[in-house]
Structure 1
Amino acid sequence: MGSTSVPAPPASSRRGAGAFAAVAIALFAIQVDFFALNLAIPGIARELGVTVTAAQWTLSSYMLAVGCLFIVGGRLGDLLGRRPVLLTGIGLFAAASVGCALAPTLGVLVVARVVQGAGAALVFPVSVSVISNTFPEATRARALGAVFALANVGTALGPFVGGGFTDGPGWRWIFWLLAPLSALALLIAVRYVPDSRDESAPRQVDLPGCLAVVASLAALTLAVERGSAWGWDHPRTLVLYAVAVLAGAAFVRRERTCAHPLVDFRLFRNVSFDLVTVMGSVCNMGYAVTVFLATLQLQQTRGLSALLAGTVFLAPALMVACSGPLGAWLSTRLRATTVMALAGAVAGTGMIGLSLVWAWWLYLPVFTWCALGLGLGWTFSSVATQAVVPPARAGEASGVVLTALVTLGAIALAAAAAAITALTPETGPEAAYDAILRVGGAVIAGASVLVVLVHRRLEARAATGP
């Protein structure tokens, strides 16, 4: 695109190592937070004297803030400087973690979770662009893979931490763990993270575009998150969908005419970027649904405690953690689209296999195999897309990818919940879970085949010429 970026120090320097550590610790804390609180919802409801449905707002509010601010956060880093935006995000996340730990009521907890989600929405895309602009091209994929490996250790520990604290000293200790971790990341970032930005664009933020995309994604996320509780044909749900469509149309119109858009739609002319983003989104949808269904199976069908359910997740989540360096290693040997198709094949067969087993000695290895494919799919999408965009606009690309992953993941969860509600009275819960896993596995496996076919078609067209 002809843009340039502020030169970054060598990745081998102390500054590069410090930036790596700050980003890894911040993302680790965010991943622990995201995957720990699911198992803490019953404990939160009991302590605060609310229903489990009301306590779900601690998850919905967080997803709302994260989902609608990823694009804004990523582009703000490109325009205003990655360092100040990263520091702001980590600071918000740390302060909100303390607020969550001290929250006396559900209302205060929900507000703190919104702030925490806003901080995470700044940290995640900017972290990716910080690594992309700090490390040279030769080692960038390996550095991103290592960052995601360390961050995904939080994925592995999240359910265990959430279940352990909920059954032990209490859910508030989840946030007391996150506060010092994020504070440490902030201190390291202040000392070592260099600044960089998109030098081709003025330091002007497309405020109308920001408002339009936030309104559209917020309305869509809220409708999806609460649609099953309100009713999919409830006027409140339908109004939110209408707002999402109208604001989305306004955003597209604005970005096509704006001199310095929040999202440059030329990004989507890159077919490799499109294929990687679609496949990563499909894998993340499968991951969200599989984790949700496994939690229900382990706690409701098999009667495990929150702690034991979290323990079962350790091996599969460890595979998700390993998917970061595995993706970086594969990226030097295979095309990005090939890696994504491979991930889809592993994930799809794993989900289908998970619906066919019952014995523990089969359930755990199949769950682990499934998690490897799903984790590789959504983790590698963030690594791969950085290879096909200029470093100056790395935050924009990361924000787009993460928005697709999170928003479509929420839609998949809502669809799974609706399917369970519809199928359970006729088939029973276990059969409903298995049916959803089979459909999801078939969709992911089919998407991986489609990626291969489209890529081969494009190669054949390029070989024959116009």
Structure 2
Amino acid sequence: MAAVAVALFCIQLDFFALNLAVPGIAAEFAVTVSAAQWTLSAYMLALGCFFIVGGRVGDVFGRRGSLLAGTALFAAGSVGCALAPGLGLLVAARVVQGVGAAFVFPVSVSVITNTFSGESRARALGAVFGVANIGTAFGPFVGGGFTEGPGWRWIFWLMAPLSLLSLVAAFLFVPDSRDTSAPRELDLPGCALTVCALAALTVAVERGDAWGWGSARTVGCFALALSAGVLFLVRERRARHPLVDLRLLRNIPYVLVTGMGSLSNMGYAVTVFLATLYLQGVRGLSPLVAGTVFLAPALMVAVSGPLGARLGGHMRPTAVMALAGVVAGSGMYALAGVGVWWLYVVVFAWCGLGLGLGWTFSGVATQQVVAPARAGEASGVLLTFLVTLGAIALAGTAAAISAMTPQRPPEDVYDLILRLGGTVIVVASAVVMAVRHRLVVLGRVPPLSMRADGGTTGEPGRRP
């Protein structure tokens, strides 16, 4: 558990720290901020493309080896980033980091799922995500502090020894496990198609605003993503041992949890992005002071890991996700109307609690509604949706700001987007509970009361 927690801590800290370092990277390499933004985009591209592959490789070939390989790649990429003499090599090293993280994330979750059992599994997952979310909490503060102090390269120098520590702990203590029902074969055509589809979609979303949404390059990338996606679905239906068993999408509790988790992550990405623009652009705060303000919501995100595990012992996974949506959506809506400084920090923290609980607990909840043998696959699919839809939400937000700011003050645009996002998440929570109630009536899932089946936390999604 310690090995997994440290690895996820590094990944979370790295990502959230680098957001505030982009201007410093642009200044050192004498490039535009838009070009330096590729240090984030390339990482997200690699991360989103290899989540499903990483999760299934762990299930098929062994989770311990996949965890070790992913951690080693992330550590090597961190050193490469710290030593990069130019933007091109920095972006290449970020891709290596992203591929390593794409193996670590889903395999970490499945390692815990297959090592612990019963209620201890939920507690272990909650503790792991709690430690990982401490990285989320301190990421902006570390990024702002290093950027203004010794320099952004120290973000990566910090990652190297921590990743090495995780690697040694995993090598010594993590037991191996795999899906014994699956042969040691990987659906390589499926891997190629999913990577192609996700890469084309991510590039289109990331660069659409710069290229123009109607430009030939953007439309071509969307067309390639659609074509590869359709071919992937056809391949998975016919493959003897598919990369993704499409029957997973018939598991309605899994679909509900994944949907709410994706919305929560989209809301988190948009809220953090808008808050960064507001604090630095409207309030005029420095990166370090803005990072300090982010500590309040980020600490609530850290708390959401253990909190979700505790709630999961008393409530069904879908109910926890719906509750998180209500807290998150109401917080986003309220944040749009706050003008008093101290109250802004309090409401921002409330947002962090709800949004963090939503996207953090989704990782725990999916493990409660699927069979442990396919835990890596289920986690990989979830994480792919989280990252891809989060990127789409950010791109849509940036496009909306560009379109509306000539007619309205920036802060009014930020408030409008927050209100819209909060309303969507609250409505989605109501839909989740309505669908769940209908499934209870049909006898397909247990009642909301945990006493109805002796206090088990899972939904009946474990059944084939």
Superposition TM-score tier, normalisation by shorter sequence: over 0.9
Matched, 1:207 2:188: yes
* Superposition deviation, residue 461 in structure 1: 2.3
Matched, 1:75 2:61: no
* Superposition deviation, residue 463 in structure 1: 8.3
* Superposition deviation, residue 388 in structure 1: 1.1
Matched, 1:229 2:210: yes
* Superposition deviation, residue 229 in structure 1: 1.0
The residue identity in structure 2 corresponding to 1:285 is M
Q: Deviations over 1:37-96 (max 9, x none)?
A: 110000000001100000000000000000010000000000010011110000000011
* Superposition deviation, residue 136 in structure 1: 1.5
- The CA distance in 2 between the partners of 1:23 and 1:229, in whole Å, is 38
* Superposition deviation, residue 164 in structure 1: 0.3
Matched, 1:327 2:308: yes
| Change beyond 3 A, Cα 1:291–1:463 | closer
* Superposition deviation, residue 462 in structure 1: 2.2
Q: How does 1:55-74 map to 2 (within 5 A)?
A: 55-74=36-55
Match of 2:121 among 140, 160, 164: 140
- The CA distance in 2 between the partners of 1:382 and 1:74, in whole Å, is 13
- The CA distance in 1 between the partners of 2:227 and 2:214, in whole Å, is 18
Q: How does 1:1-40 map to 2 (within 5 A)?
A: 20-40=1-21
Matched, 1:337 2:318: yes
- The CA distance in 2 between the partners of 1:362 and 1:463, in whole Å, is 44
In the alignment, which residue of structure 2 is the partner of 1:107?
88
- The CA distance in 1 between the partners of 2:332 and 2:444, in whole Å, is 37
Q: How does 1:356-395 map to 2 (within 5 A)?
A: 356-395=337-376
- The CA distance in 1 between the partners of 2:407 and 2:431, in whole Å, is 34
- Uncovered stretches (5+) of structure 2, i.e. residues with no partner: 446-464
Q: Is the 2:72–2:167 Cα contact (8 Å) retained in structure 1?
A: yes
In the alignment, which residue of structure 1 is the partner of 2:199?
218
Q: How does 1:286-435 map to 2 (within 5 A)?
A: 286-435=267-416
Over 4 Å off, 4+ runs: none
The residue identity in structure 1 corresponding to 2:202 is T
In the alignment, which residue of structure 1 is the partner of 2:459?
none
- The CA distance in 1 between the partners of 2:43 and 2:223, in whole Å, is 22
- The CA distance in 2 between the partners of 1:463 and 1:280, in whole Å, is 22
- The CA distance in 2 between the partners of 1:447 and 1:463, in whole Å, is 21
Match of 1:261 among 218, 242, 263: 242
In the alignment, which residue of structure 2 is the partner of 1:279?
260
- The CA distance in 1 between the partners of 2:316 and 2:370, in whole Å, is 15
In the alignment, which residue of structure 2 is the partner of 1:186?
167
- Uncovered stretches (5+) of structure 1, i.e. residues with no partner: 1-19
* Superposition deviation, residue 256 in structure 1: 0.4
- The CA distance in 1 between the partners of 2:117 and 2:249, in whole Å, is 25
* Superposition deviation, residue 137 in structure 1: 2.2
In the alignment, which residue of structure 2 is the partner of 1:4?
none
Matched, 1:177 2:161: no
- The CA distance in 1 between the partners of 2:15 and 2:102, in whole Å, is 12
Q: Deviations over 1:99-133 (max 9, x none)?
A: 00000000000000000000000000000000001
Q: Is the 2:317–2:368 Cα contact (8 Å) retained in structure 1?
A: no
In the alignment, which residue of structure 2 is the partner of 1:8?
none
Match of 1:441 among 412, 422, 426: 422
* Superposition deviation, residue 269 in structure 1: 1.1
User: In percent, how many aligned pairs have the same letter?
Assistant: 69
- The CA distance in 2 between the partners of 1:342 and 1:97, in whole Å, is 37
In the alignment, which residue of structure 2 is the partner of 1:15?
none
- The CA distance in 2 between the partners of 1:266 and 1:219, in whole Å, is 25
Q: Is the 2:257–2:321 Cα contact (8 Å) retained in structure 1?
A: yes
Matched, 1:453 2:434: yes
| TM-score, normalization by structure 2 | 0.95
Match of 1:50 among 31, 43, 51: 31
- The CA distance in 2 between the partners of 1:230 and 1:113, in whole Å, is 23
Match of 1:247 among 228, 253, 257: 228
In the alignment, which residue of structure 1 is the partner of 2:457?
none
The residue identity in structure 2 corresponding to 1:41 is V
- The CA distance in 1 between the partners of 2:373 and 2:10, in whole Å, is 26
Where 2:337 maps in the other structure, the secondary structure is: coil
Matched, 1:124 2:100: no
Matched, 1:94 2:71: no
Where 2:405 maps in the other structure, the secondary structure is: helix
- The CA distance in 2 between the partners of 1:209 and 1:304, in whole Å, is 47
* Superposition deviation, residue 270 in structure 1: 1.0
The residue identity in structure 1 corresponding to 2:298 is A
* Superposition deviation, residue 370 in structure 1: 0.8
* Superposition deviation, residue 191 in structure 1: 0.5
- The CA distance in 2 between the partners of 1:208 and 1:255, in whole Å, is 9
The residue identity in structure 2 corresponding to 1:104 is P
- The CA distance in 1 between the partners of 2:210 and 2:418, in whole Å, is 23
Where 2:407 maps in the other structure, the secondary structure is: helix
* Superposition deviation, residue 428 in structure 1: 1.3
Where 1:462 maps in the other structure, the secondary structure is: coil
| Change beyond 3 A, Cα 1:463–1:389 | closer
- The CA distance in 2 between the partners of 1:158 and 1:226, in whole Å, is 25
- The CA distance in 2 between the partners of 1:392 and 1:452, in whole Å, is 28
* Superposition deviation, residue 423 in structure 1: 1.0
- The CA distance in 2 between the partners of 1:442 and 1:114, in whole Å, is 35
* Superposition deviation, residue 460 in structure 1: 1.5
Q: Deviations over 1:113-171 (max 9, x none)?
A: 00000000000000000000111223101100000000000000000000000010000
The residue identity in structure 1 corresponding to 2:417 is I
| TM-score, normalization by structure 1 | 0.95
**What's the RMSD between the two structures over aligned residues?**
0.9
- The CA distance in 1 between the partners of 2:206 and 2:332, in whole Å, is 23
